[in-house]
Homo-oligomer: A and B are copies of this chain.
Amino acid sequence: MKPIITAFENSPDGGQGLARDMRVRWAMEEVGLAYDVRLVSFKSMKQQAHTSRQPFGQIPTYEEGGIVIFESGAIVLHIAQHHPGLLPADEPGQARAMAWLFAALNSIEPTIVERERVYFTERDESWYRARLPFIDEQIRSRLDPLSARLGDADWLDGAFSVGDLMMVMVLRRLEPEMLAEYANLSAYVARGERRPAYQRAFAAQKAVADAARAG
């Protein structure tokens, strides 16, 4: 039985790999796990058949045998802990990879998503433009130490891990102009995007978006 994930029938990003199923697709491609996809519409995501699996009415979810979970972080960690390829062999290294996974989701992503969120909900308000420097300062206060820590290494802690996978995914949501301020983070994201597993996952989610557009 292949795992089944859920993804947008019609992704808001049109297949740029920003929807959160991309994280899970990438993780499964890295460990060589074949999977099926159940597409959900914006309407069906809010109905009980889906919210019983994802209480917030979002994607992705992951089902495999008796396991039914949500939260892209939990899903990729579950995959990493059950299949070789996304965690180091040694326990201290595994713990550090887990720390970077949580850092991507809890120390970096919220500041980046907040900038997107105010664009969607407050861009017509009088304060929208005046506030952007406050938001950008908050984002840079996290990117500065991240960039310093990465230095000229390829990955955050030795070999590519689930922590890098999530960090690359999160950094891809940045405004391109801001990512460009950090040469090593830009190269880091590009390095992730060049991985064959990333490219297979990207192509798979883009095929869905292309099919939706073709109607």
Decide yes or no: A71 and B122 within 8 Å by CB, A78-B95, A138-B117 being known contacts. no
**Is A2 an interface residue, CB under 8 A from the partner?**
no
Which A residues, 90 to 137, have Cβ-Cβ distances below 8 Å to chain B? 91-92, 95-96, 98-99, 101-103, 105-107, 109-110, 113-114, 117, 121-122, 125-127, 130-131, 134
Nearest-neighbor residue (CB-CB) of A62 within chain B: B95
Provide the A39-52 mask, 1 if CB < 8 A to any CB of B, else 0.
Answer: 00000000000010
Hey, which chain B residues are within 8 Å of A131, CB to CB? 122, 125, 127
**A interface residues (Cβ-Cβ under 8 A, vs B):** 51, 55-57, 65-75, 77-78, 91-92, 95-96, 98-99, 101-103, 105-107, 109-110, 113-114, 117, 121-122, 125-127, 130-131, 134, 138, 142, 145-146, 148-149
